[in-house]
Amino acid sequence: MTQLRQRMIECLQLRGLSERTQESYVQAVRLLAEHYHKSPDLISEEFIRRFLQHVLPKGFVKVRYYGLLAASNRHLLDQARRMLPTAASQSNSSNSDCQRKDTGEPPRCPKCGAALRLVQMRPYPLTERSFLEH
């Protein structure tokens, strides 16, 4: 047993932690050292912070293994993609829906059929910040 591990176990015993808790702590430090391929005393606080960002809280699971994106459900994802319209047919249908025949009449409300009137035109501010947010 290394001197660092012995010192850690002594500190855990002084805190009055159970044998099982001590084993869990030692195992966690061992896994951390294996992850970084370094001795625990050479791992900086920043490395530990980054490591802990990937540890999930108790009861949480990694989402990537569930739903359509799971490897076992690849056939369902392919089936869903086949059911969706292609980009070319979608663009043709959306263009025909958006085009309004210019008859000189104002556009109508789709719910009540009342004539719509222009209240105010506001130019969209295309700043660097608004470009990055969208």
Task: Please give the pLDDT value at position 132.
Answer: 47
What pLDDT was estimated at residue 99?
53
Q: Which domain holds residue 41?
A: 3-52
Q: How far is CA 52 from CA 45, 48, 72, 107, 131, in A?
A: 11, 6, 29, 57, 34
Averaged pLDDT, 77-102: 65
Strand segments (E) across the chain: none
What are the pLDDT digits (tens) for 35-68? 888 888 888 888 778 877 887 788 887 766 667 7
Count structural domains, the chain: 1
Q: Is residue 29 part of a domain?
A: yes
- Which pTM value belongs to this model? 0.37
Beta bridge partners of 115: 108
Residue 72 lies in a domain: no
Note the pLDDT tens digit of each residue in 1-26.
788 889 999 999 999 999 999 999 99
Residue 15 within any structural domain of the chain: yes
Classify residue 30: in a domain, yes or no.
yes
